Structure 1
């Protein structure tokens, strides 16, 4: 293995992060061969057949261009032995039982991967995991009986679903953490060289592994904090008559703050923000910093409040009608626009609360798979007789008393030029009181009111019906 050259990479985990990262690395490094491996034959089969298991803009186009140097396989041992560098891109959910329950990261899948690498390797390896590097180094020391050299690097991903390929091609930064040893520095340099194929050197930051890992948690926690900060003002706006969109603009025009992540919503979701904040809370608690833990915990509590309060606002506006068994259409179920991911979606809270109040809920999402939505509802013990997944928006809205827009898909916008739905037919097919709750502020209230709807907007005052 040449000292400064990486020619073969193995990526363990054929999911969202592993496949997107491998595709872009192969695209930008023509001399490198990458094998993405997974224990799931169905997942590998889907990638091979081009029936892609995830939807991500531009991913399909890149995969077509790297077909000769990016392979998918279930032969994990062979891929490990052929590789110089191994990325571990497996799930690290929050611990559900035992120490750290509800907060710590469950790194058992990562640990299993590292144990497998040490067991089957016949040559030195550079390992890039998605877990605690110190923990993995200790594991390697215990299991390495062959005298091989295993260097562990930290290379956290900063991908947003819906823009992952763009994020990889045009990153704000790439962070690489390594041990401060000659071998650690050499391993980091080899990973740096892969990214330098397209990323300027001043955007590639090398540091120690703790700084790398904590930096990832801090970035996601602060992004989530911005969302919760603007969301915390929606209830105040609704009470006093201020406009949350004006507030977002006023705040965002301050160059010290900027406009990003200041769009009010029903709450943040997805697989990263809450998980990383919980991990940060657990880390602070374990180090004895309880005030710091409570500080970040407040962000999660604010997000829970934001999700739960939307159902309260809808029902309070309905007045006496709220006690009736109404039909409510929920438009959008993925945790944000631009992704099919329904994991930890904030929309589930609204659906569960509405069903719990005896209402019938009909759900439509233009991108999320019907079976994924149904699986999420099933796990939440929401029977199909009360929570129905519709094939299109018209079907979901037909006969509805209330429509709630929960995900900011362009399909739901009403501005001329962006309008894709027949809102007049939808309005005509609704039952009184024909209430529209816009939880994403994507519709023109005056336009829908002209069609006979009553519009309730997030972060804006509304009189009783």
Structure 2
């Protein structure tokens, strides 16, 4: 919405949320306090806020005044009931549709922006149509699907220079109205029009295909480690094939974020719903291999450290699921840190953008140095295992047997390995799960080095 406001100064864009604290943060004068960290977002918000970009908790007023409403709510995986663990929880989509149905005035174009299972628009349309004709007979709706194809860390660039804009719908006038908005900065040939069901399914399919590439290259990385090949050389060789291309061929600890796993599991659920068991099992394996990769690397750390990490300090560099974001949803670091804590490791975790409170929520336990009573109770469950925050990679490494790079932050590419090695206990290890560190420099400093996909 910030990019739309920036590119279309003649359009009034109002972002609404029931969370007052979050809206206050969006309105705060200090742009470093925006609720979402995304490179370039603060600049875009600064240009548009209070001009034509507004943030408010007055939901009904904003809906009533709108010609077009974007539904952009969360659609997490269901935790209970039918489809638990795979199907999307659509309670907030339904609640939003009902609120739009009640508060809208005149003709309103309702745009699905959330990642939704195919045929969700049918439910949205049913709710909206039930409200048509109310309020003096002047209330009507059109429903469109307009999924977003962007990546955290490059979201602003992806929005300003999109590969394509996808609009699915049945009402030509509504489709044209939304296309006209994007035409302010997107070339016409990049604006694709489909039926609404194809649009909904395209988003799930895109995420599934990207995640599939990650799992595929990680499977090959494990084979490279066993055979003496180098996955980066293999990736370069196959990436020059125009039929394959070079993107998403970087081996690592697996995919994370809010979309990939959730969307694949939803695809699995849909395939089973329509009786396509073999297709469902295929996509299930993509998620299974991703989880296996994280457990595999954690177990490899234990094995390299003489079969035990109980009571040992390990420095963990990076906790976000990828660089240039503070998002930790489904971050590989979560599963790997839990595995190591369960083995008894004491983790010193550092990340430039992830708050200690978020790590606490993700790991399900407070840091060892925050509450002695809680730490004592935790040790009853996990022995010597636990975690605490570090302010820098050097601090995380101090007294550690190993450091693990789990997020590919740029400054991890140029660490002073002589300084880090001198602060560690010998023999010391670098486990580079992102293959971003200078392995030669670490070896020259006297460290043992493991890099993902390197035999």
> TM-score when scaled to structure 2?
0.91
| CA distance in structure 1 between the aligned counterparts of 2:140 and 2:437, rounded to whole angstroms | 58
Q: In the alignment, what sits opposite 1:3?
A: none
What are the equivalent positions in structure 2 for 1:218-229 lying under 5 Å apart?
218-229=205-216
Q: In the alignment, what sits opposite 2:327?
A: 341
> Pick from 62, 66, 75: which aligns with 2:48?
66
Gaps of 5+ in 1: 1-21, 414-418
Q: In the alignment, what sits opposite 1:432?
A: 426
Gaps of 5+ in 2: 369-374, 376-385
The question of 1:423 aligning with 2:417 is answered yes
The question of 1:126 aligning with 2:109 is answered yes
Q: How far apart are 1:383 and its partner, in Å?
A: 5.6
Quick check: 1:154–1:178 contact (8 Å CA) kept in 2? yes
Q: Provide the secondary structure at the position in 2 that maps to 1:153.
A: strand
Q: Provide the secondary structure at the position in 2 that maps to 1:135.
A: helix
Q: How far apart are 1:338 and its partner, in Å?
A: 1.6
| CA distance in structure 1 between the aligned counterparts of 2:103 and 2:186, rounded to whole angstroms | 33
What are the equivalent positions in structure 2 for 1:62-101 lying under 5 Å apart?
62-67=44-49, 68-101=51-84
| CA distance in structure 1 between the aligned counterparts of 2:65 and 2:285, rounded to whole angstroms | 47
Q: Provide the secondary structure at the position in 1 that maps to 2:305.
A: helix
Q: How far apart are 1:324 and its partner, in Å?
A: 4.5
> Pick from 30, 35, 45: which aligns with 2:14?
35
Q: In the alignment, what sits opposite 2:372?
A: none
Quick check: 1:88–1:110 contact (8 Å CA) kept in 2? yes
Quick check: 2:213–2:248 contact (8 Å CA) kept in 1? yes
Quick check: 1:374–1:389 contact (8 Å CA) kept in 2? no
Q: In the alignment, what sits opposite 1:237?
A: 224
Q: In the alignment, what sits opposite 1:366?
A: 352
| CA distance in structure 1 between the aligned counterparts of 2:410 and 2:45, rounded to whole angstroms | 26
> Pick from 141, 147, 150: which aligns with 1:159?
150
Q: How far apart are 1:66 and its partner, in Å?
A: 1.1
The question of 1:456 aligning with 2:454 is answered no
Q: How far apart are 1:323 and its partner, in Å?
A: 5.6
The question of 1:313 aligning with 2:307 is answered no
Q: In the alignment, what sits opposite 1:8?
A: none
Q: How far apart are 1:265 and its partner, in Å?
A: 0.4
| CA distance in structure 1 between the aligned counterparts of 2:367 and 2:13, rounded to whole angstroms | 43
Q: In the TM superposition, what whole-angstrom CA distance separates every residue of 1:10-49 from its partner, at most 9, and x where no partner exists?
A: xxxxxxxxxxxx1111111121101111101101101111
Q: How far apart are 1:145 and its partner, in Å?
A: 5.0
Q: In the alignment, what sits opposite 1:216?
A: 203
Q: In the alignment, what sits opposite 1:4?
A: none
> Pick from 213, 228, 241: which aligns with 1:254?
241
Q: In the TM superposition, what whole-angstrom CA distance separates every residue of 1:135-193 from its partner, at most 9, and x where no partner exists?
A: 111122334451421111000011110111100000000000102xxxx1100100000
Q: How far apart are 1:375 and its partner, in Å?
A: 2.1
> Pick from 251, 261, 274: which aligns with 1:264?
251
Q: In the alignment, what sits opposite 2:378?
A: none
Q: How far apart are 1:118 and its partner, in Å?
A: 0.9
> Pick from 186, 210, 214: which aligns with 2:173?
186
Quick check: 1:366–1:411 contact (8 Å CA) kept in 2? no
Quick check: 2:417–2:441 contact (8 Å CA) kept in 1? no
> Pick from 106, 110, 131: which aligns with 2:89?
106
Q: How far apart are 1:411 and its partner, in Å?
A: 1.3
| CA distance in structure 2 between the aligned counterparts of 1:460 and 1:120, rounded to whole angstroms | 58
Q: In the TM superposition, what whole-angstrom CA distance separates every residue of 1:308-361 from its partner, at most 9, and x where no partner exists?
A: 1001212222235x2652111111100011211011101111101111111111
Q: Provide the secondary structure at the position in 2 that maps to 1:150.
A: strand
| CA distance in structure 1 between the aligned counterparts of 2:353 and 2:235, rounded to whole angstroms | 28
| CA distance in structure 2 between the aligned counterparts of 1:236 and 1:395, rounded to whole angstroms | 34
> Pick from 286, 289, 292: which aligns with 1:299?
286
Q: How far apart are 1:195 and its partner, in Å?
A: 0.3
Q: In the alignment, what sits opposite 2:271?
A: 284
Quick check: 1:83–1:125 contact (8 Å CA) kept in 2? yes
| CA distance in structure 2 between the aligned counterparts of 1:324 and 1:227, rounded to whole angstroms | 31
Q: How far apart are 1:382 and its partner, in Å?
A: 6.6
Quick check: 2:238–2:244 contact (8 Å CA) kept in 1? yes
> Pick from 310, 315, 325: which aligns with 1:329?
315
Q: In the TM superposition, what whole-angstrom CA distance separates every residue of 1:93-135 from its partner, at most 9, and x where no partner exists?
A: 0111111111111111111111011112221110012242111
> TM-score when scaled to structure 1?
0.90
The question of 1:46 aligning with 2:25 is answered yes
